[in-house]
Amino acid sequence: MIYVTGDMHGDYEVFSERRLNQLKKGDKLIVTGDFGFVWDESKDEIKNLQKLSKKKYDILFVEGAHENHEKLRSYPEADLYLGKAYKLAHNIYCLKRGEIYKIEGRSVLALGGGLPPYDEDTGESPAIPDDDELKYAVDNVRAHGSRVDLIITHEAPASVKRVIDKNAAVNDLNIFLDTMMHNTGYRKWYFGSLHEDRAISDRLICVFEEVHKID
């Protein structure tokens, strides 16, 4: 079974506070960015990753705005669900930007990256997908007939972000995601940057503390 939840920011307590005790061996938990368990290589961080590696389910995440992006890219690249991902442990993976995975019979597009809520200056930040990564995402979607089952991002499409917060800053990635939203068929799209649990529609879902079971 696939489950989706929101930002964790390296807080191990969320695994007991949130409704994650329903996950069983073989399940997959997807985190919509700001996983945060790879930051400064402190003793506590290493200990927490070791504890997470003992979970009986897979932990998959897209990058958020608050990650050590360079450190994440230092992990070995591994095959995962017919795609590529950075392998942190035998059950913990950072999903690559623009990759499409086949998880329990569902096609899942991952496109992580983002900026803090009111930061408009993308610049050359590694937190934001570059042109090659965005092109890879577009080409990959087209190769799959412009249709996937799930889309997992940290940022929201621009128009959706403004529905949630009319004063929210919109960056180039938000605009790109808006275009993707109108040119890609999908069943569900989950994003987590806005720290809110709210369904914008039956298909567009802002997730934070809730855990969504994908039926």
pLDDT at 121 (0 to 100): 54
pLDDT at 164 (0 to 100): 87
pLDDT at 187 (0 to 100): 97
pLDDT at 21 (0 to 100): 86
Return the beta strands (E) in 6-140 as ranges.
Answer: 28-31, 58-61, 77-80, 83-89, 92-95, 99-103, 106-111
pTM: 0.95
- What count of Cα atoms within 13 Å lies in the side-chain half-sphere of residue 39? 18
CATH number for the region 2-214 comes to 3.60.21
Closest among 103, 122, 105 to 113, alpha carbons compared: 122
pLDDT at 120 (0 to 100): 54
Tell me the pairing of strands 204-206 and 2-5: unpaired
- The DSSP code for 90 is T
pLDDT at 150 (0 to 100): 98
Nearest-angstrom CA–CA distance, 18 and 40? 25
Low-confidence ranges of the chain (pLDDT < 70): 117-124
